[in-house]
Amino acid sequence: MEKIHGHELINLIIGKEKAMSLTEIRETADKNHGQNVSYYTCSESSMNIEQMIQFLLERRKLIKKDNGYVINSGEVCDHD
């Protein structure tokens, strides 16, 4: 199983021009990383996409804007 750092998902979301629904975030992650991956961060490991999204929401790195969600760049750490 491939391991993907959470920053890679964050960068995919930042790269979009508009707020994304949670479904769009899941689909983008699956398209770019595949479905058989494990996400990790500096404090968590072995997360599936649902757990990774929840992690970002709980830490306010992913926030509600308009009819979707965007990355709160002020809450994103700057290491890989």
* Digit-coded pLDDT (tens) for 36-68: 999 999 999 999 999 999 999 999 999 999 899
CA dihedral 40, 9, 51, 1 (to 10 degrees): -50
Query: How large a percentage of the chain has pLDDT more than 90?
Result: 81
pLDDT at 80 over 60: no
* Digit-coded pLDDT (tens) for 10-32: 999 998 889 999 999 999 999 99
Kindly report the CATH number that applies to the domain delimited by 2-75: 1.10.10
* Run of H or E including 38: strand 37-40
Task: Give the pLDDT score at 70.
Answer: 96
Where are the domains positioned within the chain? 2-75
